[in-house]
């Protein structure tokens, strides 16, 4: 296989850093995106279609990061884009919203098992924050429980000690405990009895940089029961998992019912919209919370979301991605094994994280992912990857071929491991 | 405020004054000033590990704790007292070794001035003199990297961040020429000289110019990573949390 080169990406980055702090800020950039080494990675995209994107140097990638989740049906999906274009021809960001907003809310209420209503915003962090405010408004309490490694956005309360700009006062009412540990959960409830407004969690422990863990048997049912008994609002951050595990919500997937569910990434196949769905009992509380934004009710992303959800339902997208994810994981584990490496695939198969055994520094993983990158397979060495419905069996075969070569290259550098 | 003064004093002692050891290796004028004199000064500050600086044969050796003998003792009534001395606003109280007062007043003051010239360097000289830039970078790196364990030990937020650093070693290197490493164990940190062969994470500066720029706030690490001037690899959460501690250093040294 030919190895990629990125001269135009580098040239553009040098231009970018002159006018944009860090060149490409945030998780799409080389620093937060863990481009290790940076020389192996493309920086800028030229175009995208289906399971692929092409960088500015003309290299094609089978993209298993899916823009960190939004690409669920395939980039530039013709039907979703057509719905968006049709709405754009009528109106987008206007002084009063388009009635389409009601259609999307009705569709979500009809699709998501625990949804009695829906509200819209732009990013995942908008709705996790809105959920937190709603929990406090509903209970009159201060404290929020979250779990170790749980990512809920970038507002100060969602971050941690030591992050530049975050004050101790921003996080003093956030209690962080290990996922899957009911004993500690019960202790915290007892220690802060009457002061906890909400519990916010992803459906399973899909933290970055580490192996992921599914909920232990009985974990969610007991958390649900304890929240109900203590008057605590249970918030499901389904921003990353939403519509990848079950279109009815990831709480439905794991057999419980959250009070509030936050969606974003896969909601509109790349159009910028997020949604908060919730239980009828919380309607007065959320109605009282002041939350809004200039683009929150723009009609184009709403039109895209409607068509995206309809298709996800029609094709049973979670089942499609589970099947692709199983083929992907089983195939890669087999290839790794043939080269004497222990590849671990943890988390849900529709969005697994890859780690290596005997690699407590992650150096082997970083080296292997870089080799894959230079062969046109976009994975991550730090974060879960994502399946999408456009990945074909041929794409998987190409991935396995690249994996063979990449393991071989890593083996040459580490003959003794 | 009490905590702030304690953290600052521990940094002044075990990161800034400790740097005399390296200053005397790098700076001929400093080595010359010491000559063949033999003076071991102990700094005693309430609530903080003691420091002994032993000057002998054109060199200086720094030792934390009470393991090294001394012939002069400087007592400080409080961490704030030490901090005011470092800022030149208050004098120490010698309780032993009065005959070395001249060394303290002349030689030690000269050495402190030399150290300051590297830690707060003249920018025009930096631009014209690579050797000066290199020495300034090394001494600034030592100051910053030895300050990090003090923040992890005494600063309340620093303690919380340090507890998140997984056990293991982080290498910080500049090309092939210079390296030091940070050892993390159960939330306690320790800085050591040289590059470790057992690191779980590495930060690699491509040049002294890059390291100088980053340590002095002229460059940002995100841009440097993208440009390839700074490379990181290994357990990135260790580096992230280490950088958060490093980011707290200017609060105490600015």
ipTM for the complex? 0.94
Task: Give per-residue pLDDT as tens, B162-198.
Answer: 999 999 999 999 999 999 999 999 999 999 999 999 9
Peptide bond into A37 cis (omega under 30): yes
Query: Which of B155, B181, B226, B244 to mutate against chain A (most A CBs within 10 Å)?
Result: B226
| Chain A residue nearest residue B204, CA to CA | A37
pLDDT at A364: 97
Of B201, B231, B247, the CB nearest to A37: B231
pLDDT confidence band for A161 (50 / 70 / 90): confident
pLDDT at A417: 83
- Cα separation, A404 vs A372, whole angstroms: 9
Q: Are residues A293 and A307 in the same domain?
A: yes
Q: Which of B193, B186, B201, B195 is nearest to B242 (CA)?
A: B201
Are A379 and A65 in contact by the 8 Å Cβ rule? The answer is: yes
- Cα separation, B168 vs B159, whole angstroms: 17
pTM tops 0.80, yes or no:
yes
Q: Are residues A277 and A131 in the same domain?
A: yes
- What average pLDDT score do residues A24-52 get? 98
Q: Are residues A29 and A120 in the same domain?
A: no
Of B199, B222, B241, the CB nearest to A29: B222
| Chain B residue nearest residue A360, CA to CA | B200
For chain A, the residues whose C-beta falls within 8 A of a C-beta of chain B are 13-14, 17, 21-25, 29-32, 34-39, 43, 160-164, 168, 209, 360-363, 366, 382
Q: Are residues A204 and A113 in the same domain?
A: yes
- What average pLDDT score do residues A188-196 get? 98
Whether residue A36 and residue B232 make contact (CB cut-off 8 A), yes or no, is yes
| Chain B residue nearest residue A19, CA to CA | B223
- Cα separation, A145 vs A133, whole angstroms: 13
Task: Give per-residue pLDDT as tens, A291-322.
Answer: 999 999 999 999 999 999 999 999 999 999 99
Domain B124-253 has CATH 3.40.50.300: no
Counted across chains A and B, CB pairs separated by less than 8 A come out at: 81
Q: Show which of A314, A343, A378 is a domain's final residue.
A: A314
| Chain A residue nearest residue B235, CA to CA | A361
Of A43, A164, A362, the CB nearest to B235: A362
Whether residue A362 and residue B234 make contact (CB cut-off 8 A), yes or no, is yes
Strands A143-147 and A196-201, bridge-based pairing = parallel
Whether residue A162 and residue B245 make contact (CB cut-off 8 A), yes or no, is yes
Residues 234-253 of B with CB under 8 A from A: 234-237, 241, 244-245, 247-248
Task: List residues bridging with B183 in a β-sheet.
Answer: B169, B190
- Cα separation, A192 vs A142, whole angstroms: 10
Residues of B with Cβ-Cβ distance to A23 under 8 angstroms: 222-223, 226-227
Q: Are residues A56 and A136 in the same domain?
A: no
Q: Are residues A169 and A246 in the same domain?
A: yes
Chain position carrying tokens 């969602």: A158
* Per-residue pLDDT at A136 exceeds 80: yes
Q: What is the mean pLDDT of chain A?
A: 97
Q: Are residues A55 and A172 in the same domain?
A: no
pLDDT at A24: 98
Q: Are residues A212 and A194 in the same domain?
A: yes
Whether residue A21 and residue B223 make contact (CB cut-off 8 A), yes or no, is yes
- Cα separation, A200 vs A194, whole angstroms: 17
Q: Show which of A314, A341, A376 is a domain's final residue.
A: A314
Chain position carrying tokens 């456009």: A390
Q: Are residues A197 and A346 in the same domain?
A: no
pLDDT at A416: 86
- What average pLDDT score do residues B49-56 get? 97
pLDDT at B209: 98
Q: Tell me the Ramachandran region of residue A143: left when phi exceeds 0, alpha when psi lies from -120 to 50, beta otherwise.
A: beta
Query: Which of B200, B210, B236 to mutate against chain A (most A CBs within 10 Å)?
Result: B236
pLDDT confidence band for B254 (50 / 70 / 90): low
Q: Are residues A303 and A326 in the same domain?
A: no
Whether residue B233 and residue A363 make contact (CB cut-off 8 A), yes or no, is yes
> CATH no. for residue A406?
3.90.1150.10
Q: What is the CATH number of domain B2-119?
A: 3.30.1050.10
Task: Give per-residue pLDDT as tens, B127-155.
Answer: 999 999 999 999 999 999 999 999 999 99
Q: Where do the CATH 3.30.1050.10 domains begin and end in chain B? A: 2-119, 124-253
Task: Give per-residue pLDDT as tens, A238-255.
Answer: 999 999 999 999 999 999
Q: How many residues in total does chain A contain? A: 417
Q: Are residues A57 and A18 in the same domain?
A: yes
What total number of domains does chain A contain? 2
Please check whether residue A2 lies inside any domain of the structure.
no
Task: Give per-residue pLDDT as tens, B204-246.
Answer: 999 999 999 999 999 999 999 999 999 999 999 999 999 999 9
Residues of B with Cβ-Cβ distance to A413 under 8 angstroms: none
* Secondary structure (3-state) at B58: coil
Whether residue B236 and residue A25 make contact (CB cut-off 8 A), yes or no, is no
Please check whether residue A1 lies inside any domain of the structure.
no
Whether residue A361 and residue B225 make contact (CB cut-off 8 A), yes or no, is no
Q: Are residues A185 and A208 in the same domain?
A: yes
- What average pLDDT score do residues A142-153 get? 98
Chain position carrying tokens 């279609």: A49
Q: Show which of A314, A347, A366 is a domain's final residue.
A: A314
* Per-residue pLDDT at B1 exceeds 90: no
pLDDT at A242: 98
Burial (CB count <10 Å: 0-12, 13-18, 19+), residue B88: exposed
Of A17, A37, A382, the CB nearest to B227: A17
- Cα separation, B160 vs A178, whole angstroms: 16
* Per-residue pLDDT at B67 exceeds 90: no
- Cα separation, B214 vs B247, whole angstroms: 11
Whether residue B244 and residue A162 make contact (CB cut-off 8 A), yes or no, is yes
pLDDT confidence band for A1 (50 / 70 / 90): confident
- Cα separation, B2 vs A279, whole angstroms: 49
Task: Give the residue numbers spanning the domain of A164.
Answer: 78-314
Q: Which of A258, A192, A184 is nearest to A227 (CA)?
A: A258
- Cα separation, A348 vs A416, whole angstroms: 32
Task: Give per-residue pLDDT as tens, A250-297.
Answer: 999 999 999 999 999 999 999 999 999 999 999 999 999 999 999 999
pLDDT at B253: 84
Task: Give per-residue pLDDT as tens, A352-374.
Answer: 999 999 999 999 999 999 999 99
């Amino acid at each position: 296989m030919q190895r990629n080169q990125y001269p135009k990406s580098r040239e553009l980055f040098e231009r970018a850093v002159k006018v944009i702090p860090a060149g490409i800020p945030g998780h799409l950039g080389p620093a937060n995106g863990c481009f290790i080494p940076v020389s192996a990675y493309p920086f800028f995209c030229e175009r995208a279609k289906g399971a692929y994107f092409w960088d500015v140097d003309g290299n094609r990638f089978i993209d298993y990061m899916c823009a960190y989740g939004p690409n669920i049906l395939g980039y530039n999906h013709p039907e979703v884009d057509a719905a968006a274009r049709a709405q754009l021809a009528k109106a987008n960001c206007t002084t009063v919203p388009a009635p389409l907003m009601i259609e999307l809310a009705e569709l979500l209420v009809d699709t998501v098992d625990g949804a009695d209503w829906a509200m819209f915003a732009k990013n995942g962090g908008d709705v996790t924050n809105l959920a937190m405010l709603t929990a406090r408004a509903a209970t009159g309490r201060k404290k929020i429980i979250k779990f170790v490694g749980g990512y809920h956005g970038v507002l100060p309360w969602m971050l941690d000690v030591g992050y530049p700009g975050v004050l101790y006062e921003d996080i003093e009412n956030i209690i962080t405990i290990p996922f899957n540990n009911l004993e500690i959960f019960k202790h915290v409830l007892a220690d802060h009895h009457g002061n906890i407004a909400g519990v916010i969690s992803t459906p399973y422990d899909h933290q970055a940089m580490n192996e992921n863990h599914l909920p232990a048997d009985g974990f969610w049912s007991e958390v649900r029961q304890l929240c109900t008994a203590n008057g605590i609002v249970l918030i499901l951050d389904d921003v990353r998992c939403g519509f990848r595990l079950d279109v009815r919500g990831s709480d439905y997937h794991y057999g419980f019912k959250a009070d509030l569910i936050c969606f974003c990434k896969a909601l509109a196949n790349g159009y910028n919209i997020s949604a908060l769905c919730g239980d009828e009992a919380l309607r007065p509380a959320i109605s009282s919370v002041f939350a809004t934004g200039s683009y929150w009710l723009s009609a184009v992303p709403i039109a895209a979301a409607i068509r995206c959800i309809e298709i996800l339902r029609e094709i049973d997208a979670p089942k499609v991605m589970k099947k692709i994810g199983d083929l992907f994981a089983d195939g890669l584990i087999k290839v790794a094994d043939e080269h004497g490496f222990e590849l671990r695939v943890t988390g849900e198969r529709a969005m697994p994280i890859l780690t290596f055994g005997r690699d407590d520094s992650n150096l082997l993983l970083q080296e292997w992912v870089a080799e894959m990158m230079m062969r046109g397979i976009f994975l991550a060495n730090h974060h879960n990857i994502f399946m999408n419905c456009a990945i074909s069996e041929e794409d998987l075969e190409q991935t396995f071929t690249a994996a063979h070569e990449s393991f071989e290259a890593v083996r040459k550098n580490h003959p003794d491991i | 405020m009490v905590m702030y003064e304690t953290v600052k004093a521990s940094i002044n002692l075990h990161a800034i004054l400790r740097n005399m050891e390296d200053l005397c290796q790098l700076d001929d004028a400093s080595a010359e000033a010491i000559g063949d004199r033999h003076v071991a000064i102990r700094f005693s500050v309430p609530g903080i590990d003691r420091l002994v600086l032993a000057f002998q044969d054109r060199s200086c050796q720094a030792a934390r704790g009470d393991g090294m003998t001394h012939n002069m003792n400087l007592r400080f009534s409080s961490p704030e007292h030490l901090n005011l001395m470092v800022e030149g606003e208050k004098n120490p109280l010698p309780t032993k070794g009065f005959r070395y007062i001249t060394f303290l007043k002349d030689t030690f003051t000269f050495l402190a001035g030399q150290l300051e010239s590297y830690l707060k360097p003249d920018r025009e000289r930096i631009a014209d003199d690579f050797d000066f830039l290199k020495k300034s970078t090394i001494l600034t790196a030592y100051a910053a990297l030895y300050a990090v364990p003090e923040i992890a030990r005494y600063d309340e937020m620093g303690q919380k961040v340090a507890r998140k650093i997984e056990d293991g070693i982080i290498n910080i290197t500049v090309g092939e020429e210079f390296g030091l490493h940070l050892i993390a164990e159960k939330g306690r940190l320790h800085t050591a000289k040289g590059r470790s062969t057992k690191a779980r994470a590495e930060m690699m500066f491509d040049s002294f110019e890059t390291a100088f720029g980053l340590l002095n706030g002229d460059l940002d690490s995100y841009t440097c990573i993208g440009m390839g001037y700074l490379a990181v690899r290994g357990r990135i959460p260790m580096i992230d949390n280490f950088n958060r501690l490093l980011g707290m250093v200017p609060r105490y040294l600015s």
